[in-house]
Structure 1
Amino acid sequence: MSATFDSGPAGGASVAPAGDRWSLIFVRDLRHPPAAVWAALTDPARLDRWAPFTAARDLSATGETTLTMVDGPDHTELPATVLRADAPVLLEYTWGGDLLRWELAETPEGTRLTLRHHFADRDEAPMYAAGWHLCAAVLARLLDGDPVGVIRGRDAVAHGWEELRAGYARTLAH
């Protein structure tokens, strides 16, 4: 783990109603082409280096799978279904009771990655935003060829998760 890892300040997120649920809209610009970002979003070996879960299979094909939350020694398997996999622009899958929609748009600098995380309880938005913030920062470093190691579960607290959650609580206030 890099001793100089700094995920940056809270920002780039909003919350919107999504029917009877809520949607965290989380946007990051990455300096890599959509194909490289797509591979990081779908390949289990790459997901295991930045995401809060491991994947039982490649996510680039629709169908059932399992995503396993990892928190230190604790592993929680959650059912998932890849609903859409339109490489390299759209990936959508269920994750337990939530829905994750990853949109990739090519930009002159690389890729604009937009995550729409649909969930039930609006009060959880700052927690999700802080978690995805750390994951996105780890993903960016991984894509840059300067990996810091996966940060997930209780390990996130040592990397500013509480401060990020508080920052997002302020910016995402009702």
Structure 2
Amino acid sequence: MLGDLVATDDGRFAVRFERVLDHPPQKVWRALTEPGHLAAWFPVLVEFHAVAGAALRFELKPEAKRRFDIAEDEDTASYGEVIAADPPRLLEYTWGNEILRWELQPHGDTACRLVFTNVFDERDTGAPAAAGWHVALDLLTAALDGREVPWSPWDRADELTAQYAATPYR
């Protein structure tokens, strides 16, 4: 299920995903905020505390540095700030100029609905961003389920980029 590419009211763009996860909001919250869990699915290494106003630090993973031919010791850090944190319902933060918003709502007795929105400035960012987050959410689901994925996240993102490039903005 592809995410939705949308034009925002303020002239920016976004990709939005909605997924039902077979895990309670508290467990999903831990996967969104705790370093050990984030390392299993988030596209980069990230350090932060889920408290409004807290700083975030993002760093490319070694595999990304290899793929992009970046020296292992090169500093690729970028930064953000937590805008809102209401455990286990809402987490919103910046990553450079982008906004990432994670909303969790109970769905029945043991599941939750995850709504994830990534807001960015450039229309052309949409397809690769959507593909990357699509893969990240698939990895998040697998990590929560305790299973490995049988595919390369990099190859899967390349496949999905073409699909998202053919998807019109709403």
Indicate conservation of the 8 Å contact 2:6/2:169, yes or no.
Answer: no
Indicate conservation of the 8 Å contact 1:13/1:25, yes or no.
Answer: yes
Please state if 1:116 is matched with 2:117.
Answer: yes
CA RMSD of aligned residues (A): 2.1
Query: Using the alignment, how far apart are the partners of 1:66 and 1:115 within structure 2?
Result: 20
Moved more, 69-78 or 91-100: 69-78
Query: Using the alignment, how far apart are the partners of 2:101 and 2:111 within structure 1?
Result: 19
Q: For residue 157 of structure 2, what is the aligned residue in structure 1?
A: 161
Q: For residue 4 of structure 1, what is the aligned residue in structure 2?
A: none
Query: Using the alignment, how far apart are the partners of 2:9 and 2:58 within structure 1?
Result: 23
Q: For residue 76 of structure 2, what is the aligned residue in structure 1?
A: 76
Aligned residue for 1:171, secondary structure, equals coil
Indicate conservation of the 8 Å contact 2:39/2:45, yes or no.
Answer: yes
Letter of the structure 1 residue corresponding to residue 25 of structure 2: P
The offset of 1:133, in angstroms, is: 0.8
Instruction: Point out the structure with the larger strand share.
Output: 1
Aligned residue for 2:2, secondary structure, equals coil
Query: Using the alignment, how far apart are the partners of 1:24 and 1:69 within structure 2?
Result: 22
Indicate conservation of the 8 Å contact 2:5/2:13, yes or no.
Answer: no
Aligned-residue identity in percent: 36
Query: Using the alignment, how far apart are the partners of 1:147 and 1:84 within structure 2?
Result: 31
Letter of the structure 1 residue corresponding to residue 160 of structure 2: L
Q: What is the TM-score with the length of structure 2 in the denominator?
A: 0.84
Query: Using the alignment, how far apart are the partners of 1:18 and 1:77 within structure 2?
Result: 30
The offset of 1:172, in angstroms, is: 3.1
Indicate conservation of the 8 Å contact 1:80/1:95, yes or no.
Answer: yes
Q: For residue 171 of structure 1, what is the aligned residue in structure 2?
A: 167
Query: Using the alignment, how far apart are the partners of 1:102 and 1:57 within structure 2?
Result: 15
Q: For residue 3 of structure 1, what is the aligned residue in structure 2?
A: none
Q: Judging changes above 3 Å, is the alpha-carbon distance between structure 1 residues 85 and 33 closer, same or farther for their aligned structure 2 residues?
A: same
Letter of the structure 2 residue corresponding to residue 27 of structure 1: E
1:38-49 paired onto structure 2 within 5 Å: 38-49=29-40
The offset of 1:53, in angstroms, is: 1.5
Query: Using the alignment, how far apart are the partners of 1:173 and 1:16 within structure 2?
Result: 6
Indicate conservation of the 8 Å contact 1:69/1:78, yes or no.
Answer: no
Q: For residue 130 of structure 1, what is the aligned residue in structure 2?
A: 131
Q: For residue 3 of structure 2, what is the aligned residue in structure 1?
A: 12
Letter of the structure 1 residue corresponding to residue 154 of structure 2: V
Moved more, 79-88 or 102-111: 102-111
